[in-house]
A = this chain, B = another copy of it.
Amino acid sequence: MDLRQLRSFEAVARTGSFTAAAAELAYTQSAVSQHVAALEAATGQRLLTRRPVALTAAGARLATHARHILLRLDVARTELVEREPDPAVLVLAVTPTAVTDDVAALLRRVRGLRPATFLDVQVMDEPQCVRHLAGGSADAAIVDGVTTVNQPFTATEPGVLSRRLVSEQPILALLPAAHPLAGCAGIDLAVLRDARWIDAPHLRCDPGIVPGSPDPPATGRLRYDSRDLAGLFRLVAHHLGLALLPQGLLVHHPGVVAVPLRTPALRHRVELLHLPGRTATTRSLLDALPAPS
């Protein structure tokens, strides 16, 4: 079990391709193949199916371990290796759906500081945010997720990265204007148990996280893999399904009404992640946060 082997395996598992993994790691396809073969020989288990490349059960377990190991290793390297952080430039990795009013206000506050802090904001999905942060190519990350009550959403292992709450907002249910519950002040999700829900993970719309929800909805699923908000609203307006949405992402759309979700108490949370050691560079950001969590 070598680290390079694990890195190759993780990249193959993530990209779904030996070729792509090799390109990402600046290896040959051959080397990546040998890495995976070595891991399979060492464990005595088949870790991946080929054509199409997909994780086996054992491979999925190893991939989880590998992700955590490699993340922590990158964090350790970044923490320890001597670098010259430029305090005047703060590189921020941000998920697309994390940009709520609170976050925008935070960024404005930081930008207005004296001495001036130049913000380099880069929007990408969450795994990339975490990788940039761990690798040191970002000074902090702002990521979001949906969670029940006060539980922190598990972006990463606790203890590896420090986290501070930036914003927390309720979740709304999007209904067609003609829906019988459209005028409600608050909705209990149990009432809509048998409704057809749209599963839009990129827009943080994931009815599956509700604890007691029936895993396979009897009426079939509708999966929406885009980040286009208007498209989601159009689907709802045309009675193709209901959707959940963080309040901060809400826009007006004809034929769609938004009703607060009363139970379960889902919340959209935005967190600031940073390396525990390097507080000097992110000091201005941390100071600009409202309350110490």
Nearest CB in chain B: distance from A67 CB, A: 10
Q: How far is the CA of A81 from the CA of B40 in the complex (A)?
A: 10
Question: In whole angstroms, how far apart are the Cα atoms of A74 and B75 in the complex?
Answer: 20
Chain A window 1-24, contacts with chain B (Cβ cutoff 8 Å), 1 for yes, 0 for no: 111000000000000000000000
B277 touches A61 (CB 8 A): yes
Given A68-B72, A72-B68, A157-B157, decide whether A61 and B43 contact each other with a Cβ distance below 8 A: no
Q: Are A2 and B1 interface neighbours, CB within 8 A?
A: no
Q: Is A122 engaged at the interface, CB distance under 8 Å to the other chain?
A: no
A44 adjacent to B81 (CB under 8 Å): yes
Query: Which B residues are CB-close (under 8 A) to A66?
Result: 76
From B3, B44, B73, B157, A159 is in contact (CB under 8 Å) with B157
Query: Which residue of chain B lies nearest to A58 when distances are taken between CB atoms in the complex?
Result: B80
CA distance A73 to B2 in the complex (A): 10
Where chain A touches its partner, the secondary structure class is: helix
Would you give the 0/1 interface string for A154-184, flagging 1 where the beta carbon is closer than 8 Å to chain B? 0001111000000000000000000000000
Q: How far is B71's CA from A157's CA once the two chains are assembled, in angstroms?
A: 14
From B44, B69, B73, B159, A82 is in contact (CB under 8 Å) with B44
What string of 1s and 0s marks CB contacts (under 8 Å) between A72-109 and chain B? 11011101111000000000000000000000000000
A77 to B2: give the CA distance in the assembly, Å: 12
Are B3 and A80 interface neighbours, CB within 8 A? no
Which residues of the other chain, B, contact A45 by a CB distance below 8 angstroms?
80, 82
Distance in angstroms from A176 CB to nearest chain B CB is: 41
B157 touches A73 (CB 8 A): no
- The verdict on A65 contacting chain B, using a C-beta distance below 8 Å, is yes
Can you list 17 contacts pairing A with B, beta carbon distance less than 8 Å?
A1-B3, A2-B3, A43-B77, A43-B81, A44-B80, A44-B81, A44-B82, A61-B79, A61-B80, A62-B80, A65-B76, A65-B79, A68-B159, A69-B72, A69-B73, A157-B158, A157-B159
Top 7 A-B pairs, shortest CB-CB distance: A65-B76, A43-B80, A44-B82, A69-B69, A69-B72, A65-B72, A43-B81
